[in-house]
Structure 1
């Protein structure tokens, strides 16, 4: 689980470096056995969403967590990438508001990914 947390926080940092907005990491370990962490980020264009998804793929693959599923890549509005224990959700603003994953997974704990990375640098 510590490895999953580290990867989720690193994906959040990557999204931040690519100028994503409102980036959150949700700890789902006490909510569902299906996933450990969600990363949710907002991008302003299809190009930005693709950059986030592609760079996350590179990071995760180098870390030994190859992607096992992808949805929405051909969409202009959202991309979901499943790495098993970590799932990346990249949305445009309207789709993020519509899907409202923060409310749907309200029982999940928010991770302060920036503090985690600073502590584990």
Structure 2
């Protein structure tokens, strides 16, 4: 049985935090966009840490039967996007995150606490 979007968020956030991701933010974009229900945004200090965060998120979700529909930016590791359908995960290096500032861009979205109620 597939995981709910909230369960995907909770697992991904925990996995990111296990790899010392910085400034983990979850945005509920369900009321402002049809592309997904949630964005998870977090940062790593280096490209290597960004890749470690991404790989750990993927491993933890794969263990629960969830495979990413798409992964972009992994080789460069400045901004990696993982698409899980209703949940889109953005893992940045700090300067890239500051430049794109998704939290401001999606300012109409509600920031939610984790764990997200299932």
Q: Distance in 2 between matches of 1:107 and 1:62?
A: 33
Q: How far did residue 16 of structure 1 move?
A: 1.1
The 8 Å contact of residues 11 and 61 in structure 2, kept in 1 or not, is answered as no
Cα displacement string for residues 55-91 of structure 1 (whole angstroms, at most 9, x for unaligned residues): 1111222223211111111114111111111111000
Q: Distance in 1 between matches of 2:11 and 2:63?
A: 12
SS of equivalent to 1:84 = coil
Match of 1:9 in 2: 10
Matched, 1:51 2:60: no
Q: Distance in 2 between matches of 1:107 and 1:9?
A: 22
Cα displacement string for residues 83-119 of structure 1 (whole angstroms, at most 9, x for unaligned residues): 1111110001100001100011111111111xx36x7
SS of equivalent to 1:34 = coil
The 8 Å contact of residues 20 and 43 in structure 1, kept in 2 or not, is answered as yes
Length-normalised TM-score, structure 2? 0.89
Gapped regions of structure 1 (runs ≥ 5): none
Q: Distance in 2 between matches of 1:85 and 1:60?
A: 14
Match of 2:66 in 1: 65
Gapped regions of structure 2 (runs ≥ 5): none
Length-normalised TM-score, structure 1? 0.87
Matched, 1:42 2:43: yes
Q: Which runs of 4+ in 1 moved over 4 A?
A: none
Q: Distance in 2 between matches of 1:109 and 1:6?
A: 18
